[in-house]
Amino acid sequence: MIAVSMMLVACQRPAAEPPLLAVSAEAAGAPCSTGCSGPTPDEVAHLTDGEIAELLTEVASAPVGAAELAVETLLFHGAQTRDYLARRGSGPLSEAHRSWLTHELARDEVAIGLRLVARDGALLGHREDVVPLGAKQHLLLRDMGAFGRADVNGKVKRVGVKHLWARF
């Protein structure tokens, strides 16, 4: 049995602060499906301007940087939140809240470390890369001896203050 171990760390390049998150996951190798990195939920379910305004009001009443549901929702719908803020401003947010939210919304890359490991623990291949959040990726692991190469594909999505979602 061969497993792909992934370590995902969200960051803004250049990273002047500690990583946002580190996650480990294992997935058995399977053939690629054309839907393997299909639309994420935020790409099919949109927030209205009114819903975003309500979420900003909730964020304004919470401590700066708190992982409240309102903040998590705004980060999950990052592209829509950025568009709203550009069009309508930050409304009820204090300068500290606005600055923090803008910084978090700008974190748009993920550092990926992939290791292909045999059951006996032998490292068969590895790759480290920085890729954009939300974009489908095909990452090749090369020089894997008898296995030749492996194509690991999928996408990583930010779903909260300290959480990433990955489908590979």
How confident is the model over 85-102, as a mean pLDDT?
96
Least confident of 31-45, 49-63, 89-103, 134-148: 31-45
- For the cut 60, the answer to whether the pLDDT of residue 2 exceeds it is no
SS3 96: helix
Could you tell me the pLDDT band of residue 37, with boundaries at 50, 70 and 90? low
Buried b (16+ CB within 10 A) or exposed e, 88-108: eebeebeeebbebbeebbebb
Whether the CB-CB separation of 138 and 151 falls below 8 Å is answered with yes
- Tokens (6 digits) for 126: 């590895």
How confident is the model over 34-62, as a mean pLDDT?
81
- For the cut 50, the answer to whether the pLDDT of residue 18 exceeds it is no
Higher pLDDT, 48 or 11: 48
Q: How many CB atoms lie within 10 A of CB 110?
A: 26
How confident is the model over 111-136, as a mean pLDDT?
80
How confident is the model over 76-103, as a mean pLDDT?
95
Structure confidence by residue, pLDDT tens digits, 147-161: 677 777 888 888 888
Higher pLDDT, 35 or 71: 71
Residue entry with tokens 């809240």: 97
- Tokens (6 digits) for 124: 């068969």
Least confident of 11-15, 43-47, 55-59: 11-15
In the chain, the largest separation of any two C-alpha atoms, in whole Å, equals 60
pTM higher than 0.75 for the full model? no
| Strands 150-158 and 109-118, sheet pairing | unpaired
- For the cut 80, the answer to whether the pLDDT of residue 59 exceeds it is yes
CA nearest to 151, candidates 29, 61, 51: 29
| Residue 86 to residue 75: CA distance in whole angstroms | 15
How confident is the model over 83-105, as a mean pLDDT?
95
CA nearest to 67, candidates 115, 31, 100: 100
